[in-house]
Amino acid sequence: MFITNAESVILQVNKAFTEITGYTAEQAFGKTPRLLGSGRHDAAFYAAMWQAIKRTGEWHGEIWNRRKTGEVYPESLDISAVRNQDGAVTHYVGSFRDLTATKAAEEQIESLAFSDLLTGLPNRRMLMVQLQQGMIASEHDKRQGALLLVDIDNFKDLNDALGHDQGDLLLQQFGERLSACAKEGETVARVGGDEFVVLLTQLASSSLEAAMYAETVANRILAALRQPYRLGASDISCSASIGVALFGARHEDTVEPLKRAELAMYEAKAHGRNTLRFYDPQMQEAVNARVAMEAALRQAIETHQFVLHYQAQVSDQGRITGVEALLRWPDPKRGMVSPAEFIPLAEATGLILPIGNWVLEAACKQLAQWARQSGLAHLTVAVNVSAKQFHQSDFVDQVLITLARTGANPTRLKIELTESVLVANVEDVIAKMNALKGRGVGFSIDDFGTGYSSLSYLKRLPLDQLKIDQGFIRDILIDPNDAAIARMVVALAESLGLAVIAEGVETEVQRDFLAGLGCHNYQGYLFQKPLPIAEFEAFVLRV
C-alpha cells in the first residue's frame, strides 16, 4: 500500500510495499509512483487512469510494474482519492496485490479501511497518516500544530446503564458535535472506544499563540458536548475531558504528540473532568495568565480604566514641538501595566479596536483642549496605531469622525505606524494614508529600521517622518552597526524629504552624536519620561 498527497508524492508506504517492490520507505518517500513504472503502458493508459480517478474518485485494474531489482511483474491495483469535507482531494491511497504472489493480498485489503464504521469519522489509522503529514508540514513551515484528545467522562458507566445500542447512539452524536466544532482543514477522528482526536495544523509559529487557539477550540468543544443528548425518549447529559499537546518544529515520532495529549487528558480527568489541560504545565500557566489578562482587559475597557501619558518631542533648540501619547493601564491588581505587555494580547483578541478608538478619542480631545491654552496650542500629538486598527475598512472614517467630534485640528495629529502595517495591501495602505493626509493628518514610521520596508515602497507613501528605533540609539556610541543604521536612516529621510526623530535618547552624548549625524529631533528620558497629563502640562509651561 502507498499513500500520496494530492500531488502524487508518496508520503507513506507499508512493509508489504517494500516486500513487493524492493523499495524501502526512505527510498519511496518524496517520489511519485512513477518510480515503479515498467515502461509497458503508454501515456494514453495513464491518462485514462487519471481521468477515471478524477471522475469517480477511484481506479481498479491490472498493471505491469517494475521491482527495484528490475523485474517486471503484474499487479492488481486499486487507487482511491481521499477527500476532505469540502470535496478537495487530500490524498491518494494505492493498494496493490502482486498477482504473482497473491498471498500477501488479504492483508492489504484490510488496511484500506480508513474510517470508523460507527461514526463515519476517520479512524486511528487515518489520523496517524494525517498527523504525520501535519507534523511534516509543521517542521517545514515552522508552525505549530495541536492534538486534542477528547475522552467522554464516565462513558463506561453510561454505556452499561444505557445499554450498548444507546451507547453507540451517544458516540455517534458525540462525533457529530465534534465535527460541527471543527473548521475547514481540522480533522476529527475516532481513535478508540470513547476517545476522539481533533487535529489542528498550521497554527501560529509562537507556541503561546497556538496554545491560545487550541484552548479556544477546546472550550468550544467542551461547551458543545455539555449540551444534553437526545437518546430515544430521554435526554442524557455527559461531558468530556480534553488533553492538549502541541507539536512543532521538533522532529519526533507521530505517537509522541498522542502520548502527550493522553497524559494531559488524564490530568484533565484528575482535575474533576469536564475540563481541559495542556501537556506542558508551563504552557498551561501561560495560557491561564493570558486568559486572566484578557478578562481584565475587557473589564478595563468597560470601566474606562485606561489613561494616556505624554512624552515630549524636542527639537535641537530644546523647544517642545509635540508629544507622543502613550497608553497606560493602571490595573488595580497588577499596578501600572506596560503597553508592551498588553498590546500584543489586545491585538490577538481584537480588543485593540475599542482600545485604539479610545486612545484616538482621548488624544484628539487633548488636542482640542490645548488649542485654547497659550503655551500648549502649538503641540502636535503623535498617536500609535496598530496594524489591525489601521487595516479596518472604516479606519479613515473613524479618524475623521473623531476629529470632527472633538474639534481637534487635523494638522496637529500625527499617526505613528510600524513598518509591519505597511507590508500588506500596499494599495489600500496608500489610499488610506492619502485620504487622511488630504485632511492634514501627518504620518510617522515608528521603530524604523527594525522592519522590512523597501525603498521603492517608502517613496510612494505620503509620510512626514521616520522615527529611528530606540534599539539603535541605546548603544549608538559603542556599536558601529547601530551608528551606521542611524546614519543611514537620517540620510534616507533626507533623500525622501522627510523629517527624522530619534526615540529613546537618554544621554547628552547620544543627543550630540545624533545631532552630528543630522538628526535634530529627539524623544527620551534625557528630556522627559512619559508623564500624566497634569505633570506634563506643568513641565511644558515651566520649560
Query: In the complex, which residues of this chain contact Mg ion (CB under 5 A)?
Result: 384, 416, 446-447
Q: Which does 248 bind (CB under 5 to 8 A by kind): ligand C2E, Mg ion, none?
A: none
Strands 240-247 and 465-468: unpaired
Q: Which stretch binds ligand C2E (CB under 6 A): 161-169, 180-188, 332-340, 531-539?
A: 332-340
- CA-nearest of 423, 379, 422, 383 to 399 is 383
- The Cα 65–Cα 384 span in angstroms is 65
C-alpha cell at 91: 490524498
Phi/psi of residue 539, nearest 5 degrees = -65, -45
- CA-nearest of 87, 98, 22, 114 to 64 is 98
Q: Which does 525 bind (CB under 5 to 8 A by kind): ligand C2E, Mg ion, none?
A: ligand C2E
Q: Which stretch binds ligand C2E (CB under 6 A): 62-70, 208-216, 313-321, 522-530?
A: 522-530
Q: Which of 311, 313, 406, 465 binds ligand C2E (CB under 6 A)?
A: 311
Q: Which of 287, 326, 429, 436 binds ligand C2E (CB under 6 A)?
A: 326
Q: Which does 338 bind (CB under 5 to 8 A by kind): ligand C2E, Mg ion, none?
A: ligand C2E
- The Cα 309–Cα 327 span in angstroms is 6
Shortest approach of Mg ion to residue 469 CB, angstroms?
6
Q: Which does 359 bind (CB under 5 to 8 A by kind): ligand C2E, Mg ion, none?
A: ligand C2E
Q: Which stretch binds ligand C2E (CB under 6 A): 113-121, 140-148, 337-345, 457-465?
A: 337-345
Shortest approach of ligand C2E to residue 521 CB, angstroms?
13
Chain positions 427 to 456 lying near ligand C2E, rule: CB under 6 A, are: 446-447
Site for ligand C2E contains 339 (CB under 6 A): yes
Cα–Cα distances in angstroms (integers) from residue 429 to residues 31, 303, 400, 435, 440, in the given order: 44, 33, 16, 10, 17
The H or E element spanning position 172 is helix 164-181
Q: Which does 242 bind (CB under 5 to 8 A by kind): Mg ion, ligand C2E, none?
A: none
Q: Which does 284 bind (CB under 5 to 8 A by kind): ligand C2E, Mg ion, none?
A: none
Coil vs helix vs strand at 260: helix
Instruction: Pick the closer one to Mg ion by CB: 187 or 444.
Output: 444
Instruction: Pick the closer one to Mg ion by CB: 208 or 359.
Output: 359
Chain positions 452 to 481 lying near ligand C2E, rule: CB under 6 A, are: 470
Within 10 angstroms of residue 75's Cβ, the number of other Cβ atoms is: 20
Site for ligand C2E contains 506 (CB under 6 A): yes
The H or E element spanning position 245 is strand 240-247
Q: Which does 340 bind (CB under 5 to 8 A by kind): ligand C2E, Mg ion, none?
A: ligand C2E
Coil vs helix vs strand at 116: coil
Q: Which does 78 bind (CB under 5 to 8 A by kind): Mg ion, ligand C2E, none?
A: none
Q: Which stretch binds ligand C2E (CB under 6 A): 75-83, 154-162, 521-529, 531-539?
A: 521-529
Cβ pair 183, 203 in contact under 8 A: no
Q: Which of 65, 386, 465, 521 binds ligand C2E (CB under 6 A)?
A: 386
Site for ligand C2E contains 322 (CB under 6 A): no
Cα–Cα distances in angstroms (integers) from residue 74 to residues 38, 40, 63, in the given order: 10, 11, 6
Instruction: Pick the closer one to Mg ion by CB: 254 or 465.
Output: 465
- Size of site (CB under 6 A) for ligand C2E: 24
Shortest approach of ligand C2E to residue 340 CB, angstroms?
5
Q: Which stretch binds ligand C2E (CB under 6 A): 73-81, 176-184, 229-237, 339-347?
A: 339-347
Q: Which stretch binds ligand C2E (CB under 6 A): 12-20, 145-153, 335-343, 512-520?
A: 335-343
- The Cα 406–Cα 209 span in angstroms is 37
| Helix axis angle, 281-302 to 207-226, nearest 10° | 80
Shortest approach of Mg ion to residue 324 CB, angstroms?
6
In single-letter form, the type of residue at position 298 comes to: R
Q: Which stretch binds ligand C2E (CB under 6 A): 41-49, 170-178, 190-198, 381-389?
A: 381-389
Phi/psi of residue 472, nearest 5 degrees = -90, -20
DSSP states of 185-226? T-EEEE-SSSEEEEEE-S--SSHHHHHHHHHHHHHHHHHHHH
Taking the alpha carbons at both ends of the chain, their separation in whole angstroms is: 82
Residue of minimal Cβ distance to ligand C2E: 524
Q: Which of 258, 343, 421, 429 binds ligand C2E (CB under 6 A)?
A: 343
Residue 106 makes CB contacts below 8 A (sequence gap 6+) with none
∠ CA 32-28-126 to the nearest 5 degrees? 85
Cβ pair 316, 520 in contact under 8 A: yes
Shortest approach of Mg ion to residue 413 CB, angstroms?
14
* Residue 493 CA neighbour count, 13 Å, CB half: 25
- Give the helix, strand, coil percentages of the chain, each rounded to 5: 45, 25, 30
Instruction: Pick the closer one to Mg ion by CB: 204 or 307.
Output: 307
- The Cα 39–Cα 287 span in angstroms is 57
Chain positions 276 to 305 lying near ligand C2E, rule: CB under 6 A, are: none
Q: Which stretch binds ligand C2E (CB under 6 A): 211-219, 477-485, 498-506, 513-521?
A: 498-506
Site for ligand C2E contains 482 (CB under 6 A): no
- The Cα 463–Cα 454 span in angstroms is 14
Residues that bind ligand C2E (CB under 6 A): 311, 326-327, 338-340, 343, 356, 359, 384-386, 416, 446-447, 470, 503-506, 523-525, 530
